[in-house]
């Protein structure tokens, strides 16, 4: 059984999802891939992981790095999980390009090349938005490319962080 909770952010409603222990999803309510990791049956419930996540979000939306993560469970493929683990390493207020992530994975796997488009697909399907900071990934020319929660939100989040 999965569980959900709601959070009202300055950028709109957010839905949180959990397996009962770990966070499995965090989506803006208009997110393109809303609920993609939720099981067929779920219910609204107060859980410690939701309390921790709300605290994380409160700190984050105050413009500060929360400095901790609630427990996470990534329901995804091995490739997407590796991309998301790299996203977790991008510091608050910093950005990384799709190409940089692709090059890192290519190096780790001993491949001569990794597709930045494949990385983009993994980034775009991030089910634990904000906490796994997919909004910190930009195009190789520095332009802001898609964000499942909406490009306006990506701009607002990077501005909140004072991203370079």
| Per annotation, catalytic residue among 38, 101, 134, 148 | 134
Across the strands, what pairs with 97?
138
List of residues 6+ apart from 49 with CB closer than 8 A: 18, 21, 22, 23, 70, 71
> Residue 31: CA atoms inside 13 Å, Cβ hemisphere, count?
26
List of residues 6+ apart from 105 with CB closer than 8 A: 82, 83, 86, 111, 114, 119
Annotated catalytic, 22?
no
In total, the chain counts a number of residues equal to 164
> Active-site residues: which are they?
134
């Amino acid at each position: 059984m999965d569980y959900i909770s709601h959070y009202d952010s300055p950028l709109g409603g957010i839905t949180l999802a959990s397996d009962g222990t770990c966070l499995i999803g965090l989506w803006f309510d208009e997110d393109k891939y809303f609920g993609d990791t939720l099981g067929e049956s779920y219910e609204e419930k107060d859980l410690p992981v939701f309390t921790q996540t709300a605290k994380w979000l409160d700190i984050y939306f105050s413009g500060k790095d929360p400095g901790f993560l609630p427990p996470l469970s990534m329901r995804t493929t091995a490739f997407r999980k590796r991309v998301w683990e790299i996203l977790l390493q991008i510091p608050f207020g910093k950005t990384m390009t799709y190409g940089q992530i692709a090059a890192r994975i290519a190096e780790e796997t001993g491949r001569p090349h990794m597709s930045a488009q494949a990385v983009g697909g993994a980034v775009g399907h991030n089910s634990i938005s904000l906490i796994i900071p997919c909004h910190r990934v930009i195009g190789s020319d520095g332009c802001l490319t898609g964000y499942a929660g909406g490009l306006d939100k990506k701009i607002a989040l990077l501005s909140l962080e004072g991203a370079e």
